[in-house]
């Protein structure tokens, strides 16, 4: 490194202090840096640590950009088919839909009605009242009227819980004494089966879709399966020691689900009577059960207002709905549409709620 102006170390030769105070001057310095050292400064700058951005912050920025992009996109709602923004609830589906009252039948049961069952196509219905009487109803062009002749044929039938076959021909009921009966409504209400149990209050009953089985649940926790063709009782099922409030056959009749005050849903194999699974998750009495049309899912409701959807394949709860804290008395899967599965609930909050399967979008 060469200096253009060499410095002298002899102190006497320096200008006097008075001169420095009266005159100002600058000494230009010229420095020549070799090429080897020219890149040293850049290396030093690169070695200085910069402010780092964590991976999580980078990911958040990426997701924020993606969300902004998706929020501006439009797609079709899988529920109603209307165009909506992505990742936003469909305004058409969430708005209050008006369901006008079509018909009201006053005085059908003076003391009130506790059970209503219908056939598969909704042309015949049976109601059971607290006065112990049954009434048969017929639907024509969307309006219901009493079927006086059939009602008269079952005037001596006093079951507590009732079930109707899919074609509307057979009525099954279980009484307070625990007796299970079957009546043929197309044959003048003649009783064709009479099954005796251990005398415990009959709380619930169900008919399999193919008409082969009848299942009844009782206050003492017992569950019985009967064969409709022979009238024989092949299985008396255990597993529930508290009152049973709901029994339901799968669409194929292969599995029977039963639940009640034990807060557990028990699945039984109808061919062997063996207990195949316990579905635990409810914290209150289980009041109602319903199978999806494919048999893949089981719907349940409880006294604390919870509604759960169970996967039969994994034996796990896949969805829980808790829009109310009051008891949900009944749940029912609706006939499947081309878009998605739907179900309805009704309970102590005096309203009927409809749910549809979340298919994304």
Residue 10 has pLDDT above 50, yes or no: no
End-to-end CA distance of the chain: give it in Å, rounded.
71
pLDDT number for residue 328: 96
Q: Are 215 and 247 in contact (CB under 8 A)?
A: yes
26-58 pLDDT, tens digit each:
555 555 666 666 666 566 556 555 555 566 777
User: How wide is the angle at C-alpha 259 spanned by C-alphas 299 and 277, nearest 5°?
Assistant: 80
Q: For residue 171, what are the contacts with CB-CB under 8 A and spacing of at least 6?
A: 126, 134, 154, 157, 162, 163, 164, 165, 182, 183, 185
- The percent of residues above 70 in pLDDT, for the chain, comes to 75
182-224 pLDDT, tens digit each:
999 888 888 888 888 888 999 999 999 988 999 999 999 999 9
Q: Rg of the chain over CA atoms, in angstroms?
A: 39
Both tokens assigned to 252: 């194929």
Quick count: other Cβ atoms within 10 Å of Cβ 113?
14
Quick count: other Cβ atoms within 10 Å of Cβ 169?
15
Q: Are 299 and 308 in contact (CB under 8 A)?
A: yes
* Helix (H) / strand (E) containing 17: helix 17-22
Please spell the DSSP secondary structure of 256-268, one letter per residue.
EEEEETTSEEEEE
What span, in angstroms and rounded, lies between the C-alpha atoms of 286 and 28?
96
CA atoms in the 13 A half-sphere facing the CB of 295: 13
pLDDT number for residue 96: 62
What span, in angstroms and rounded, lies between the C-alpha atoms of 170 and 150?
12
Burial of 328 from C-beta contacts in 10 A (0-12 / 13-18 / 19+): buried
CA atoms in the 13 A half-sphere facing the CB of 226: 24
Q: Are 293 and 335 in contact (CB under 8 A)?
A: yes
Residue with more model confidence, 339 or 253: 253
Residue 330 has pLDDT above 90, yes or no: yes
Query: From start to end of 188-237, where are the E strands?
Result: 190-195, 202-207, 213-218, 223-227, 235-237
Domains and CATH numbers, the chain: 73-102 (no CATH), 111-203+221-244+258-280 (2.130.10.10)
Q: For residue 118, what are the contacts with CB-CB under 8 A and spacing of at least 6?
A: 124, 125, 126, 164
pTM score: 0.72
In this structure, what are the phi and psi dihedrals at residue 30, rounded to the nearest 5 degrees?
-115, 125
Please spell the DSSP secondary structure of 38-82, one letter per residue.
HTHHHHHHHHSPPPP--HHHHHHHHHHHHHHHHHT-EEE-TTT--
Alpha helices (runs of H) in 176-297, residue ranges in sequence order: none
pLDDT number for residue 1: 43
What span, in angstroms and rounded, lies between the C-alpha atoms of 279 and 306?
15
Lowest mean pLDDT among 5-19, 165-179, 192-206, 259-273: 5-19
Q: For residue 124, what are the contacts with CB-CB under 8 A and spacing of at least 6?
A: 118, 136, 137, 138, 139, 147, 164, 168, 185
271-314 pLDDT, tens digit each:
999 999 999 999 999 999 999 998 999 999 999 999 999 999 99
Q: Are 249 and 213 in contact (CB under 8 A)?
A: yes
62-114 pLDDT, tens digit each:
666 655 555 556 677 766 677 777 667 777 776 766 677 888 998 899 999 99
Both tokens assigned to 102: 């079509």
CA distances from 259 to 8, 222, 268 (A): 107, 11, 11
232-244 pLDDT, tens digit each:
999 999 878 899 9
């Amino acid at each position: 490194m060469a200096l253009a102006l060499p410095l002298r170390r002899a102190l006497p030769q320096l200008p006097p202090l008075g001169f420095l105070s009266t005159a100002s001057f600058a000494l230009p310095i010229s420095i020549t840096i070799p090429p080897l050292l020219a890149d040293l400064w850049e290396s030093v700058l690169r070695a200085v640590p910069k402010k780092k951005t964590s991976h999580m912050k980078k990911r958040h920025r990426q997701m924020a950009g993606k969300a902004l992009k998706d929020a501006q996109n439009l797609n079709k709602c899988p529920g109603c088919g209307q165009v909506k923004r992505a990742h936003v609830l469909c305004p058409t589906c969430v708005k209050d839909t008006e369901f006008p009252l079509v018909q009201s039948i006053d005085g059908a049961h003076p003391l009130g009605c506790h059970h209503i069952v219908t056939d598969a196509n909704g042309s015949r219905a049976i109601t059971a009242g607290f006065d112990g009487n049954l009434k048969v109803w017929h639907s024509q062009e969307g309006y219901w009227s009493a079927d006086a002749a059939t009602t008269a044929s079952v005037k001596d039938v006093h079951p507590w819980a009732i079930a109707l076959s899919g074609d509307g021909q057979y009525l099954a009921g279980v009484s307070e004494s625990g007796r299970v009966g079957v009546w043929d409504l197309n044959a003048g209400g003649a009783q064709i089966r009479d099954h005796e149990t251990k005398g415990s209050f009959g709380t619930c009953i169900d008919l399999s879709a193919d008409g082969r089985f009848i299942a009844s649940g009782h206050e003492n926790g017992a569950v019985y399966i009967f064969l409709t063709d022979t009238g024989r009782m092949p299985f008396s099922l255990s597993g529930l020691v508290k009152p049973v409030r709901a029994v339901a056959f799968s669409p194929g009749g292969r599995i029977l689900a039963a639940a009640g005050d034990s807060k557990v849903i028990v699945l039984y194999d109808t061919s062997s009577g063996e207990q195949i699974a316990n579905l635990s998750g409810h914290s209150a009495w289980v009041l109602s059960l319903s199978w999806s049309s494919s048999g893949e899912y089981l719907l349940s409701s409880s006294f604390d207002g919870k509604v759960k959807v169970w996967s039969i394949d994994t034996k796990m709860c896949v969805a829980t709905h808790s829009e109310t804290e009051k008891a949900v008395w009944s749940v029912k899967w609706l006939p499947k549409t081309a878009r998605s599965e739907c179900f309805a609930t009704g309970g102590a909050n005096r309203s009927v709620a409809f749910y549809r399967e979340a298919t994304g979008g």
